[in-house]
Amino acid sequence: MLAARPVLAANSGGPVETVRDGRTGWLRDPRDVDAWSDAMHQALALSDAERKAMGDEAAARVRAEFGRDVMARRLHHLLDVAAVAAKEGAPARLASPLTFAMLIMFFLFGAVLSAACMRLFRG
């Protein structure tokens, strides 16, 4: 999506949060071959202008909802919640050093992947 291209994805997991069916791509049941075939036909039938509009909306959505700054703010908020919970003595899922390390690694991986995609598909 960051590459400004509409996507065809399974309607489960992460794509449900990121893809807007019919606007930034298509979400289909992974077991429904006919639905996937129909979505591919729809994608191939798009004009260049329609494909560009969908792709541009997809890229804008990824930047606005999942960009580095947004994800950094979300991570900061989660860490604040964990810190408050730890100070109050309440068990917190994010209080674990391992969970914290995993969040940092996830964030860094996303940043690296985002930068690589931008370089690869620029232009």
Same structural domain, 3 and 37? yes
How many residues can be counted in the chain?
A: 123
Q: What is the mean pLDDT of the chain?
A: 85
- Number of domain units in the chain: 2
Q: What is the CATH number for 13? A: 3.40.50.2000
Neighbours of 76 (CB within 10 A): 10
Between CA 39 and CA 116 the distance in angstroms is 28
Q: Once rounded to an integer, what is the mean pLDDT over residues 32-59? A: 96
Between CA 64 and CA 110 the distance in angstroms is 15
Q: Which of 63, 85, 111 is the C-terminal boundary of a domain?
A: 63
pLDDT of the residue at 92: 57
Task: Give yes or no for a contact between 12 and 28, defined as CB atoms under 8 angstroms apart.
Answer: no
Between CA 38 and CA 63 the distance in angstroms is 28
**Confidence category of residue 84, pLDDT binned at 50, 70, 90:** confident
pLDDT of the residue at 67: 84
pLDDT of the residue at 74: 85
- Tell me: pLDDT of 103 over 80: no
- Tell me: pLDDT of 110 over 90: no
Q: Which of 63, 83, 110 is the C-terminal boundary of a domain?
A: 63
In the chain, the largest separation of any two C-alpha atoms, in whole Å, equals 58
Domain span at 19: 1-63
Same structural domain, 17 and 59? yes
Of 53-62, 95-104, 105-114, give the lowest mean pLDDT range. 95-104
What radius of gyration, in Å, describes the C-alpha atoms of the chain? 18
Same structural domain, 50 and 73? no
Percent of the chain with pLDDT over 90: 46
pLDDT of the residue at 95: 56
Tokens of 64: 């606005």
Question: Please, how many CA atoms are within 13 Å of residue 39, restricted to the half-sphere of its CB?
Answer: 21
The CA-atom distances, in angstroms, between 85 and each of 81, 90, 97 are: 6, 5, 14
Same structural domain, 98 and 86? yes
Span 8-36, pLDDT tens digits: 999 998 899 899 999 999 999 999 999 99
